[in-house]
């Protein structure tokens, strides 16, 4: 194989573009203010010593330069709109356009969070509708939409755990976390004052029940479990896991990062989960935006409801909606206002577009796509766990590593084939992991191209490993020096000294 054999992509003109500061020249502008309809004031007299004497050195550019600058920059990004983006555990699905349109309606995008409730019935109705539907989807009893992201949801969930246990007289000391967990789980537990105790996986990639039984005691507040876990494996013994925890007074927190495997097929509330977060930017199609904003609602069972952050939206008998702040046992606020409301709008639009049958088909297609890739790539890449997988599959670079090619190298080469790489080197329970989550959004054609690309790279590892080690070739830049970036950090632009 060689670069000439790659058919999915071809090279194209790509505009060079400097930093916006490098276009700046005094006197250029991209705005015009309205004429002032009130008397001017003397800023120096108004502000005294608080007056800013030197303006911030922001760029001075025209409107067309701004448009070109950000359009050029945008073309350097790979995005879901370009093609498959199989980052495992990130659920990079299609972001519907109607979501964006409705989030920008005047009464929604222009709503001030402190406008009176009488003027906020529409926004409150959106939050109430989303809350009700997420409760039905998760099989839980109550929910808060306040957390701004998945990790923020985890924080909220573990705060609920702690508040609940404290109300029972003992907050306990430790939280159990499987070795396959996302790094946010232990970081979260630490933020809530818990020690983290590692829980090892068994040979099937699932929670080791005997280990759990042995580690569970009255010092353990609970378990943070991702289900399906980061290997894409559903914890078949979930009911027993919940039972072991509950028997000793602990709680089961579910990290809902992988909920795209379960929606309309199984409900965490039915299998013993006490509370969980959802990632609206994963399962419910709100855009990832280059790293955010996300949204991480936390759903819980009735026994945890009194502790939810305040306020929550409640409906009065006459159908009016209001914000209830009068919640004595609440953990308090985790964010100002009501969370990332714009994401609530988008998630609700997604659920409405799907309905019960659409959500079910979505989950089926997500699992179908992952299993198709698994079947097609099994044998070419090492599959460390033969346990059935759901919405994502984790291979290892074991076969290729013998030839000196690591998962990170395969990822870089995949870029040349026109794909965003999978998640590299995670979960940590698999050495040299390739974590692949296609989501439901991929047509068969795209999946087949991905299979071809992966097989082709595996062949290159045998025939011409140097080709892979120097990849990518078709990008603007290749193999950026991350070590140098960290050793002597340059975190801002400065004008060149003349």
Return the residues of window 139-178 that contact another protein according to CB under 8 A: 148-152, 154-155, 159, 162, 171
Q: How many CB atoms lie within 10 A of CB 495?
A: 9
Q: How far is the CB of 7 from another protein (least distance, A)?
A: 19
Complex with another protein: residue 191 or 462, whichever CB lies closer: 191
Q: Is 390 in the site for another protein (CB under 8 A)?
A: yes
Q: 204: exposed, middle or buried (C-beta count within 10 Å: 0-12, 13-18, 19+)?
A: middle
Complex with another protein: residue 415 or 468, whichever CB lies closer: 415
Report the distance separating Cα 272 and Cα 254, nearest Å: 10
Considering only residues 85 to 114 of the shown chain, the ones binding another protein according to CB under 8 A are 85, 87, 90, 92, 94-96, 98, 100-114
3-state secondary structure 460-473: HHHHCHHHHHCCCC
Considering only residues 51 to 80 of the shown chain, the ones binding another protein according to CB under 8 A are 51-53, 55-61, 63, 66-67, 69-71, 73-80
**Contact with another protein (CB under 8 A) among 144, 226, 283, 340:** 340
Complex with another protein: residue 109 or 462, whichever CB lies closer: 109
Q: Which tokens go with 328?
A: 């004595």
- Give the total of residues touching another protein (CB under 8 A): 199
Q: Distance of CA 278 to CAs 60, 138, 151, 265, Å?
A: 42, 9, 10, 16
Q: Is 452 in the site for another protein (CB under 8 A)?
A: no
**Contact with another protein (CB under 8 A) among 219, 329, 361, 382:** 361
DSSP symbol at 139:
T
Complex with another protein: residue 348 or 405, whichever CB lies closer: 348
Q: How far is the CB of 463 from another protein (least distance, A)?
A: 22
- 427 in Cβ contact with 231 (< 8 Å): yes
Q: How far is the CB of 196 from another protein (least distance, A)?
A: 4
Complex with another protein: residue 170 or 462, whichever CB lies closer: 170
Residues 6+ apart with CB under 8 A from 229: 178, 180, 201, 205, 206, 235, 258, 427
Q: Which tokens go with 112?
A: 């001030």
Q: Which stretch binds another protein (CB under 8 A): 1-9, 245-253, 312-320, 384-392?
A: 384-392
Considering only residues 391 to 420 of the shown chain, the ones binding another protein according to CB under 8 A are 411-412, 415, 420
The residue assigned the tokens 């659409």 is 358
Complex with another protein: residue 356 or 404, whichever CB lies closer: 356
Considering only residues 293 to 322 of the shown chain, the ones binding another protein according to CB under 8 A are 293-295, 309
- 138 in Cβ contact with 160 (< 8 Å): no
- Give the relative orientation of helices 341-377 and 121-138 as an angle to the nearest 10 degrees: 30
Complex with another protein: residue 211 or 451, whichever CB lies closer: 451
Report the distance separating Cα 241 and Cα 479, nearest Å: 44
Considering only residues 175 to 214 of the shown chain, the ones binding another protein according to CB under 8 A are 182-184, 186-193, 196
Name the nearest CA neighbour of 447 among 85, 60, 104: 85
Complex with another protein: residue 212 or 374, whichever CB lies closer: 374
- 278 in Cβ contact with 284 (< 8 Å): yes
Considering only residues 1 to 30 of the shown chain, the ones binding another protein according to CB under 8 A are 19-21, 24, 26, 28-30
């Amino acid at each position: 194989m060689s670069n000439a054999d790659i058919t999915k992509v071809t090279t194209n003109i790509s505009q060079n573009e400097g930093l916006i500061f490098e276009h700046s020249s005094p006197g250029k502008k991209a705005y015009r203010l309205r004429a002032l309809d009130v008397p001017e004031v003397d800023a120096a007299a108004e502000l005294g010593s608080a007056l800013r004497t030197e303006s911030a050195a922001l760029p001075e550019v025209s409107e067309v330069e701004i448009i070109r600058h950000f359009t050029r920059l945008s073309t350097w990004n790979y995005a879901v709109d370009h093609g498959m983006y199989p980052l495992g555990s990130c659920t990079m699905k299609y972001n519907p356009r109607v979501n964006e349109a409705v989030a920008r309606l005047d009464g929604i995008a222009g709503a001030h969070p402190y406008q009176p409730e009488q003027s906020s019935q529409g926004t409150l109705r959106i939050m109430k509708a989303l809350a009700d539907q997420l409760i039905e989807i998760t099989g839980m009893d109550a929910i808060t939409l306040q957390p701004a992201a998945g990790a923020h949801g985890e924080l909220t969930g573990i705060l609920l755990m702690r508040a609940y246990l404290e109300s029972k007289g003992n907050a306990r000391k430790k939280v159990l976390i499987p070795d396959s967990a996302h790094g946010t789980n232990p970081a979260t537990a630490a933020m809530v004052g818990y020690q983290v105790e590692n829980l090892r996986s068994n040979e099937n990639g699932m929670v080791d029940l005997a280990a759990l039984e042995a580690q569970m005691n009255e010092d353990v507040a609970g378990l943070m479990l991702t289900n399906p876990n980061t290997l894409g494996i559903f914890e078949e013994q979930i009911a027993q896991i919940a039972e072991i925890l509950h028997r000793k007074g602990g709680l089961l927190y579910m990290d809902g990062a992988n909920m795209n495997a379960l929606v309309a097929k199984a409900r965490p509330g039915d299998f013993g989960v006490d509370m969980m977060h959802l990632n609206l930017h994963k399962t419910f199609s709100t855009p990832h935006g280059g790293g955010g904003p996300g949204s991480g609602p936390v759903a819980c069972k009735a026994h945890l409801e009194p502790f939810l952050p305040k306020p929550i939206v409640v409906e009065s008998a006459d159908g009016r909606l209001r914000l209830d702040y009068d919640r004595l046992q609440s953990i308090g606020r985790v964010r100002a206002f009501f969370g990332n409301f714009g994401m609530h709008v988008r998630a609700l639009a997604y659920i409405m577009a799907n309905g019960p049958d659409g959500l079910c088909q979505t989950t089926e297609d997500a699992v179908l796509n992952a299993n198709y890739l698994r079947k097609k790539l099994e044998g070419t890449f090492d599959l460390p766990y033969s346990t059935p997988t759901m919405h994502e599959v984790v291979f290892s670079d074991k076969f290729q590593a013998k030839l000196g090619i690591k998962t990170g190298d395969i990822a870089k080469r995949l870029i040349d084939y026109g794909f965003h790489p999978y998640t590299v080197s995670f979960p940590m329970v698999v050495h040299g992991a390739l974590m692949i989550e296609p989501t439901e959004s991929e047509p068969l054609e795209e999946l087949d191209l991905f299979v071809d690309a992966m097989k082709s790279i595996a062949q290159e590892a045998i025939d011409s490993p140097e080709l892979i080690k120097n990849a990518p070739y078709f990008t603007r830049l290749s193999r950026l020096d991350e070590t140098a970036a960290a050793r002597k950090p340059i975190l801002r632009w400065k004008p060149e000294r003349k």
